[in-house]
Amino acid sequence: MLETSLRTLLGPTGWLSEPEDVEPFLVDWSGHCCVRPIGVARPASTADVAATVKLCARADVVIIPQGGRTGLVAGNFPHDRNSIILSLSRMNKVEPITPGDFCVSVGAGVVLGQLHAALNDTDLILPLHLGSEGSAQIGGLIATNAGGNMAFRYGMMQDMVLGLEVVLPDGEIWNGMRRLIKDNCGFQLRRLFCGSEGRLGIITGAVLKLQPAPRSHATALMALPDLQAAVVFGETLRRTFGEAVIGLEFINDTALAIALQQIGELKFPFDVPAPAYLLAEIASTIPGIDLVAEMENALAAGLQRGQLTNAVIAQNNTQRAALWKLRDELPEGQRREGPQCHHDVSVPVSQIAEFVNVCSADAEALVPGIRVCAFGHMGDGNIHYNFSTPAGGNFDDKEEELSAAVYARVDEFGGSVAAEHGLGRLKTGLADTYRSASERDLMRRLRVAFNPTDILNPGVIVD
């Protein structure tokens, strides 16, 4: 019945139910889903999304909204046969840009890389870059409140959303596609849907704030005596260059050593390895400034004071890309190395080194010889705190214990057990372990208020 209605509504390209057609939608970056849904709806318009939702609501069938399937927490997997996947990928239109408004309207299915390309001819940017940008879609990036390398400078996805269009769980459409920075006409609904992981509504379109593109850059890799030195020098760079600091990544020795060993094309610019590294990028639109010279001054001062043991500045875009590649390939390097155990967490910036040191001691006590790959975003305290097995060994079946120890420390440090990847189906139980009764209750109330029949993405954020 529902199938017939959906096929009639959406046409043969808009409704997929053959196993081989559905299969690709059951894989994302977190793995493979074993529950096969009724089918995959691929509406091409907001009206069709709304009609699809109404049909499902009437049939009491669950809807799993899906973007580019780059999530890492199984946030868009069906958990029940009695469900459909709703893919936004056909709603991929970038509207013409009015440059003076410093914003752009897009469909939820626009891929982030596609938007970057559409902005290429302008001198405006959407300052959001992450490893998945070739596949990740705007709707999913908003629904998961994506972060990335520049969040400490430009904010997270929620800070870039001016307007939204959302199909609600009853199939009504909320048109909040306003092109306004200032809009205090009631509760900030546009912000509430950011990070709601498909629980409160299906994002179908957005107006995104754009920024002027920087005209000049300077990118440097620094070697430091330890991670605390990276924390301190990171602060120094932010105080020196202020708003010009747009990237500030730290890497521990083990993470870079593994990546260098596994990925042949990486170029290590120093003679000897160091205990910690800092990758910094400054950028500005202001004409007539020499950022490379200013960065040289800052690094020279750091070397002289012994805060840095070595440093290199990219002299051209090729070198700049090579430095960033050292950072960007860390996950791939660790993947190639073998079994791993991941944690996407955040703590206050000043406590990054202390957190890593304490966690590493915990882990060593549990699994002697365990290798800690710690890297991430110094500007916002977001640590990708990952384990690789001891060289030639294994985790001794202690993955759960290892993770529990990390998350307990996160809580102790006032951090977040889900920094930028969200909760999905993998971390909702974990979040429940740490959030207060009042916080869980507020989230439950929100879910019930917006999605009373639990038709949208059940099992995520609040059960």
Question: Which residues, 37 to 56, sit near a second copy by CB under 8 A?
Answer: none
What does the block give as tokens for 240?
């020196």
Number of residues forming the site for a second copy (CB under 8 A): 104
Range 328-347, binding a second copy (CB under 8 A): 346-347
147: contact with a second copy by CB under 8 A = yes
Which H helix or E strand runs over 450? helix 437-450
Among 109, 139, 169, 195, binds a second copy (CB under 8 A): 195
Q: Is 198 in the site for a second copy (CB under 8 A)?
A: no
Query: Residues 23, 95, 101, 454: which binds a second copy (CB under 8 A)?
Result: 101
Closer residue to a second copy (CB): 37 or 214: 214
Closest CA to 141 of 155, 158, 124: 158
Judged by CB under 8 A, which of 38, 85, 229, 462 binds a second copy?
Answer: 462
3-state DSSP assignment of residue 278 = strand
Alpha helices in 306-345 (DSSP H): 317-328, 330-337
Residue appearing with tokens 């459909």? 84
Minimum CB separation of residue 43 from a second copy in Å reads 19
Q: Does 404 bind a second copy (CB under 8 A)?
A: no
Report in angstroms how near the CB of residue 233 gets to a second copy at its nearest. 11
Task: For the CB of residue 12, give the shortest distance to a second copy in the complex, in Å.
Answer: 31
Contacts of 79 (CB under 8 A, 6+ apart): 35, 62, 425, 458, 459
Q: Is 100 in the site for a second copy (CB under 8 A)?
A: yes
Select from 66, 145, 204, 403 the one that contacts a second copy (CB under 8 A): 145
Q: Applying CB under 8 A, does 159 fall inside the site for a second copy?
A: yes
Stretch that binds a second copy, among 39-47, 165-173, 268-276, 302-310 (CB under 8 A): 165-173
Q: Does 264 bind a second copy (CB under 8 A)?
A: no
Structure tokens at 77: 């997997």
Phi and psi (nearest 5°) for 58?
Answer: -65, -35
- The residue among 86 and 200 lying less far from a second copy, judged by its C-beta, is 200
Strands of the sheet with 62-66, listed across from one edge = 15-16, 39-41, 83-87, 62-66
3-state SS string for 74-99:
CCCCCCCCCEEEEECCCCCCECCCEH
Q: Among 13-21, 61-69, 284-292, 384-392, which window interacts with a second copy (CB under 8 A)?
A: 284-292
Determine contact, residues 64/86, Cβ cutoff 8 Å.
yes
Under rule CB under 8 A, residue 120 binds a second copy: no
Site residues for a second copy, window 414-433 (CB under 8 A)? 414-423, 431
Selected binder of a second copy within 299, 349, 370, 372 (CB under 8 A): 349
For a second copy, the closer CB: 348 or 369: 348
Which residue do the tokens 């509406």 mark?
43
Map residues 356-395 to x or -, x wherever contact with a second copy holds by CB under 8 A. ---------------------x-xxxx-------------
Smallest distance from the beta carbon of 171 to a second copy, in angstroms?
A: 11
The nearest distance, CB 170 to a second copy, in angstroms, is 9
Q: Which of 213, 266, 292, 366 binds a second copy (CB under 8 A)?
A: 213
**Separation of alpha carbons 410 and 219, rounded Å:** 31
* Nearest partner of 207 among 151, 153, 157, 156, judged by Cα: 157
Question: CA dihedral in degrees (145, 146, 147, 151; nearest 10)?
Answer: -60
Cα 26 → chain centroid = 20
The 10 Å Cβ neighbour count of residue 146 is 27
Phi, psi (rounded to 5 degrees) for 9: -65, -50
With left for phi above 0 and alpha for psi between -120 and 50, is residue 149 left, alpha or beta? alpha
Identity of the residue, 293 or 391, whose beta carbon is nearer to a second copy in the bound complex: 293
